[in-house]
Amino acid sequence: MIYFDNSATTKIDPTVLTTYDQVAREIWGNPSSLHRLGDRAAQLLASSREQLADLLGTKPSELFFTSGGTEANNWAIKGTAWQKQTFGQHLITSSVEHASVANAFTALENQGFRVTRLPVDKAGRVNVNDLRAALDSDTTLVSVMGVNNEIGTIQPIEDISDLLANYPTVNFHVDNVQAIGKNIWSRVFTPRVDLVSLSAHKFHAPRGTGILYKKAGKMILPLHDGGGQEQGLRSGTENLPAIAGMAKALRLLLTDEVEKADREAAIKRKIVDYLQAKPGIEIFSPVSLNFAPHILCFALTGIRGETLVHTLEEYDIYTSTTSACASTRSATASTLSAMQITDRVATSAIRLSFDETNTMAEAEEFIRVFEEIYQHFAPINHLGE
């Protein structure tokens, strides 16, 4: 089996699964309980938070555990909008965000908030001048993802941070679910960033767990009412086994991060070198410093992406049609649409996404298999135009 769908989810690391199992079996007390079982759980929760903070370069008190990236995104966006609505009701995001961000803004729009969605260029990249023009005295939030989940564009978070230095009351949220562990952290997590979302199952930890980083002093309203866990801002009993596993998984992920990212980039480059010589292939994720090393999106024009995905599956090779969240609805890739890519090409797109466990041998096998598929489909795609 060749698994090239790591942006959808990653396989849990066996040692992380062991940690999860041990904690679930041995430290099963509620961290909020007063007795010694609860105290033992609370100590592990605290040590996991400290480890994660050390790895991410934050304070432990700035990390809040969530059910995943979707909750973290919704909380950052809605929590800011509701907290600051008496000061302003203008929100800014990009036109290429993950559904959990895009739909959160739509929900706020339906509540009366004014939302500006920034366009992108042919590389799927936001222009800082567009953001500058959109900012006004009513703006309370800017939310732009660090790495696009469909084509891998790295957004200009550093440039946006420089611009927002002049707008200290505007909260700056970055969805960094696809950016962690790719040797680009300093480019997508600057001192100006106020809120960051992460999802554990994107880096070999259990699904159903994530993190919202909230800079000290920044105020957001909670989404949940309840027992007051997580400093009174995120009620609900913490998923301690998954949190402990997440801490271990992040430590493993960031060990030898540079070498891992280089290997992923080499796999991407190998496949891009093959694809770019094929007529009818359009590549949306070039090998470039402006693109993440682990995401490769391309189209065999005229052949639907889902057809390619299922054909590759027959060879035990697993990919996706851009975002996994859109693929089950046969939706056109929102990022490609925002880039003004025609529907015929956009619906032909597939996404390969790599991680540190993939090998060059897998890349070579993918090329061998894809060549067979290409020779089968080529006469009926672009050549039939």
Strands (E), 181-286: 195-199, 210-214, 281-283
Q: Which amino acid is at 322?
A: T
Identify the active-site residue in 24, 252, 325, 331.
325
Strands 139-143 and 90-94 turn out to be parallel
CA 220 to chain centre: 21
Residue 325 designated active-site: yes
Q: Scan for tokens 């891992």, then name that residue.
A: 260
Tell me how far apart the alpha carbons of residues 338 and 334 are, in angstroms, rounded to a whole number: 6
Q: Residue 199: phi, psi to the nearest 5?
A: -130, 125
Strands (E), the chain: 2-3, 63-66, 90-94, 114-118, 139-143, 171-175, 195-199, 210-214, 281-283, 295-300, 317-318, 349-353
**CA R_g for the chain:** 21
Q: Residue 94: phi, psi to the nearest 5?
A: -105, 170
Token reading at 284: 């949306």
User: Which positions are annotated as active-site residues?
Assistant: 325
